Chains A and B, each alone.
Chain A
């Protein structure tokens, strides 16, 4: 259940941003979640409901999740391919000399507040 730990960190970050911007009540937090971040969106929103209720600033707010596609680059043939379908092996040339371009993000994109 690392989703719970991640939720605590989101709330901490949101509290810091709220203090800097003099926000009193947050209505939504928009999160960018990479396809291969290893974070399960359903667990995350469940944990959010539970943990957010304990914070005056974010209680009742919505956690909106935007999924970012995972893309891997192949150093051998120089092409990119979708990670989820093909994993570490390049579907163009069959080489394993590849690395993740995008897809492991867990970013707070923006906060909606009054």
Chain B
């Protein structure tokens, strides 16, 4: 009769992905490619913010965009129309990208001349935060209609972010949105995160965000 063997593993389920993400980051450093992982809830303005960002930076930095969605290619078309190289990744029903999926996307996106690769993750404040994509920096967008309490409700997302863009700031007077409270909630989760209020539609504050990103890319590639 076969005997049952017990193999002690004691390993986090995320350990393997974390390792692959670290490998990807190392390779990106060698190749001089900055990867930004942009996360947010659906409808917070990721694509509109990206279009603005690309307008400001595309003449000085070679940009490529990966659009991750469960289905459709509307975002990739929008980015292509904005004049940047873009590809659409389909996650096949999954709510996030992991390091291997990101690598596959990068292999397709990069043909040697991309300096800044931007991953627009699946719209979701929970799952994308759990899986390290291999990105150099993580950014989250929180839009005013979502409410200033989101950093309390989705703590991990705000813990893993280097920068939080508070989008649709132009409509703040019409919502019960307190920017100072929001900043305080982000600080409670992540004292190092930078908070930048923007309005992707009018362009307000986007310069500041572009300055931050430009500086990060320069540092990474130097």
**When chains A and B are docked, how far (Å) is the Cα of A100 from the Cα of B199?**
35
Minimum Cβ distance to chain B for residue A39 (Å): 9
A4 touches B93 (CB 8 A): yes
Mostly, the B contact residues are mixed
Near B by CB (< 8 A), chain A positions 83-114 give 88, 96, 105-114
Q: For window 123-137 of chain B, which residues contact chain A by CB distance below 8 Å?
A: 126-127, 130-131
Q: Is B95 in contact with A6, judged by CB distance below 8 angstroms? A: no
Query: Is A55 in contact with chain B by the CB < 8 A criterion?
Result: no
Tell me the total A-B contact number using a CB cutoff of 8 A. Answer: 82
Establish whether residues B9 and A13, one from each chain, have CB atoms under 8 Å apart when the complex forms. yes
B215 proximal to A (CB < 8 A): no
Q: B188–A96 contact, CB under 8 A?
A: yes
Determine the distance from Cα of A19 to Cα of B34 in the docked complex, in whole angstroms.
35
Nearest-Cβ distance from residue B19 to partner chain A, whole angstroms: 11
Known A-B contacts A12-B16, A13-B13; the reply to A5 vs B8 at CB < 8 A is no
Residues of A within 8 Å of B127, CB to CB, are 1-2, 5
- Identify which of A2, A17, A88 contacts B9 (C-beta below 8 A): A17
Number of interface residues of A (CB under 8 A): 28
> Does A9 have its Cβ within 8 Å of any Cβ on chain B?
yes
CA distance A110 to B4 in the complex (A): 12
A64 and B8 CA atoms in complex are apart in Å by: 14
Contacts of A88 in B (CB 8 A): 152, 188
Q: With A and B bound together, what is the CA distance between A17 and B94 in angstroms?
A: 25
Judge whether A23 is part of the interface by a CB distance below 8 angstroms: yes
Query: A2 vs B131: C-alpha distance in the bound complex, in angstroms?
Result: 10
Residues of A within 8 A of B8 (CB): 109-110
Query: At the interface, yes or no: B222 with Cβ under 8 Å from chain A?
Result: no
Write out the residue numbers on chain B whose beta carbons fall within 8 Å of the beta carbon of A113. Answer: 4-5, 7
Minimum distance in angstroms from B38 CB to a CB of chain A = 18
Q: Which residues of B contact A96 (CB under 8 A)?
A: 188
Output the nearest chain A residue to B15 by Cβ-Cβ distance: A13
Q: Mark A9-31, 1 if CB is under 8 A from B, else 0.
A: 11011001100010100010001
Whether B13 lies near A10 (C-beta < 8 A) is: yes
Q: Which of B2, B3, B11, B152 contacts A13 (CB 8 A)?
A: B11
Shortest distance between the CB of A11 and any CB in chain B (Å): 10
Contact of B212 with A by CB under 8 A: no
Residues of A within 8 A of B126 (CB): 2, 38
Residues in chain A near residue B17, CB distance under 8 A: 9
B12 to chain A, nearest CB (A): 5
